[in-house]
Amino acid sequence: MKVGTVEVIKGEKKKGYIQVGTDTDGSPFLIPVLVAAGQEDGPTLWVHGCIHGEEYGGAASIIRYFQELDTNSLKGTFVGVPVVNLPSFKDRNRISPLDGANLNRIFPGDPNGSYSHRLAYELIQVIRETADVVLDFHSGGIGAEVPYYVIIDDDKTETALKSMDLAKKLGSKFIWRSEGESGTGGTITASVMDLNIPTVTVECGGGNVTEQHEELFKKSIKYAMQAYEMIPGEPPKLDEYLIVGNASFVFTKEGGLFVPECNVGDILNKGDKIGSIMNLFGKVVEEIYCPEDNSYIAALGHRYWPTEPGQLITESMPIESRGK
């Protein structure tokens, strides 16, 4: 098996590149890839970060996990791509400076499109040729924080059941079961699912990357590898899972400084205070409330960071069901 320029060799850790297209100056986009292969055969776990270029926690955790991984106890292959979206990463931006695209809304891509579309297309080809299971790392980006939780794209297939089974082994009580175009249209997970490859999105942190964020991301890789019997040990099984459905996205109406009055991961009811916007004279110009009952706060703007009208300030997700 080859992944980009890397020839996979049993028992070895290798580094190389996946090349996709060229930059404006003609230089190739060389996407670093980290491959660790066990002595024994087994599945290939593919983990990528920075599909949105300013979500650095996943990138760092993939690098750290690779450094710490012992190939002697590994069955199968770990493929880590810390930063899939190089232009967006270099621009420290969610979207690509080359064509303005949000990479995670344009899968399965287009081999004749602008750079992001080509990138999406090529990524799917490489995943198709190499991966048995995929983890997709995200965060709240620079301007927001998210709790540690997981997302699956429930397209009602056998692969969705396998993805849910994996999601339940990653140590998060909260699972966003996203259905259809409204939640996951054009995402990499939707396209990976179309290849019948189980996949889970892992969300964690945003803004600064703390040691805790790193640990949570790394644990998700470890648990996924345990779930697929690639390394020794059992992934956790929780007493209860809370399944959330459609997300409500709450946008600010006023500019100013955001003052949060809850935490990510809280469960709030309709009318509970999420926070307020304070103008530069210290006056509260807007109060923000939870729009629905029994809602998981899955994203929140940072304390005292500036906002502009129409900025996404929180995501709340009503809990649909509880169960095993």
Residues that bind Zn ion (CB under 5 A): 52, 55, 138
221/277 with CB nearer Zn ion: 221
As measured in angstroms, the least distance from the Cβ of 110 to Zn ion is 21
Contacts of 110 (CB under 8 A, 6+ apart): 117, 118, 120, 121
Q: Is 245 exposed, middle or buried (0-12, 13-18, 19+ CB in 10 A)?
A: middle
CB closer to Zn ion, 52 vs 118: 52
Q: By C-beta, is 55 or 154 nearer to Zn ion?
A: 55
The distance of closest approach from Cβ of residue 145 to Zn ion in the complex, given in angstroms and rounded to an integer, is 13
Distance CA(120)–CA(175), nearest Å, equals 25
Q: Which amino acid appears at position 95 of this protein?
A: I
| CB of residue 105 to Zn ion, shortest distance in Å | 11
Q: At what angle do helices 158-167 and 211-227 cross, to 10 degrees?
A: 130
304: left (phi over 0), alpha (psi -120 to 50) or beta: left
Shortest Cβ 247–Zn ion spacing (Å): 13
Which lies closer to Zn ion via its Cβ, residue 55 or residue 145? Answer: 55
Measured from the CB atom, the residue of 118 and 138 that comes closer to Zn ion is 138
3-state DSSP call for residue 85?
A: coil
* Choice between 55 and 122, CB closer to Zn ion: 55
105-123 exposure pattern, b = at least 16 Cβ within 10 A, e = fewer: ebbbbeeeeebbbbbbbbb
Q: Partners of 28 in the beta sheet?
A: 22
Closest contact distance (angstroms) between CB of 319 and Zn ion is: 22
Considering beta carbons, is residue 55 or 315 the nearer one to Zn ion?
Answer: 55
Distance from the Cα of residue 177 to its chain's centroid: 14
Nearest approach in angstroms of CB 17 to Zn ion is: 23
Min separation Cβ 306 and Zn ion, Å:
21
CA 157 to chain CA mean position, Å: 21
